[in-house]
Amino acid sequence: MDGSQHEGKAMVEKEKSMQLDQHEGRKKKRRKLSTTSSKMLTQEITRFVAPEPSDDKACLVFMTGIDMGRPVIIDQSRGHFVIGRNRTSDLQIDASEISRFHVRLEFLPGKEVRLVDLESRNGSFVNGHQVREAYLRPGDKIRLGPHVLLKFSFLDEQESDYLGQMFNRVSCDALTGVMNRRYFIDTFERECSFAKRHHLPLSVAMLDIDFFKRVNDTYGHLVGDDVLKIFTQRVLKAIRKEDLLARFGGEEFSVLFRQTELEHVGQISERIRKSVSGELFDVGDLKLQITVSIGTVTMYPSGDLDCQEQLHSLLKIADDNLYKAKQGGRDQVVYSDA
């Protein structure tokens, strides 16, 4: 091999070596960039990991029954929260399987929450296990008796608002905020079963705003909507806390009276009528005289009919009484027993 061949081979080897060095250099650079990017990404992610909010509120969410999805925000300031059938409970669940004072939640330092069964008849369960006492963790499922299921958690304001809005969309009338027809029917069936077992009265009132179509035709539907809102607020002030007001549609509403005799229902219905007609409705620049006609009925649910059939019977009689109130001149109450 002559000198020129040696020189050429050396140059080729040198060029290969340079290319290899450049390739290794690029790999190292890529590894460095990758490591740097990974560190930067980790740093960026870390910045978005917020500390646990200090203002989260303890919450129970119904997972069964007509209140499924309803959040109950717990006032922790008193240090305890009682659930039971009794009206003085912090959360009243009016179901026969629930004891008068069924269970107590105790709020301890460091966000610890202890559940204490109050010698309930049907027991308290956490995640399927019957307990006398248990420390709760977010996400735990609390079952009271055989059917009532609640989920315990801590929620911030946005989460609790979201759950409340979702429940309201399903159960409430969007315009007035009172319960809708579906919720009314579900509640009646539960109350009917309870009234049957304990031989208690159950009453229903049908309410219809007089000449409401004339209001819409004369002033427009926006004014009509405001009239409906004012109307519901006046009715809510006239009825009791345990009574249920629902909008059935248009200008027609219904009230469910629990464990209330006919005479008392007549008195409450008359109070509703006076609360509506007793003061003009201020709607923008308008002052409108609004009245309501009411048909009411009371019955003692029996075992002969199921609760759906008894509801149909009650609503028909209440509607007949409402028609009599309209025919009699409106702005009046007509009531009877079934």
DSSP-derived 3-state class of residue 331: coil
Amino acid identity, position 63: M
Q: Which of 13, 24, 242, 251 is catalytic?
A: 251
Q: Which domains, from first to last, does the chain contain?
A: 55-168 (2.60.200.20), 171-335 (3.30.70.270)
- Based on the residue annotation, tell me whether 251 is a catalytic residue of this protein: yes
Q: Regarding beta strands 333-337 and 292-299, do their DSSP bridges make them parallel or antiparallel, or are they unpaired?
A: parallel
DSSP per position, 125-153 = EETTEEESEEEE-TT-EEEETTTEEEEEE
The one-character DSSP state at 172 is B
DSSP H or E stretch at residue 208: strand 202-209
Q: Distance between CA 303 and CA 309 in Å, rounded?
A: 11
Distances from the Cα of 140 to the Cα of 5, 73, 126, 317, angstroms: 83, 16, 7, 46
Rounded to whole angstroms, the Cα distance separating 100 from 49 reads: 44
- The CA angle 140-146-151, to the nearest 5 degrees, is 20
How is residue 115 annotated by DSSP?
E
pLDDT along the chain (338 residues), means of 10: 54 58 58 51 42 74 92 93 94 90 95 96 97 97 96 93 90 95 92 87 97 97 98 97 94 95 94 97 97 96 83 94 97 92
Q: Which residues contact 194 (CB under 8 A, 6 or more apart)?
A: 94, 95, 96, 200
Q: What is residue 30's predicted lDDT score, i.e. its pLDDT?
A: 55
- Say what the pLDDT of residue 285 is: 95
Tokens of 150: 């609640």
- Which of 195, 197, 191, 283 is CA-nearest to residue 233? 283
pLDDT of residue 286: 97
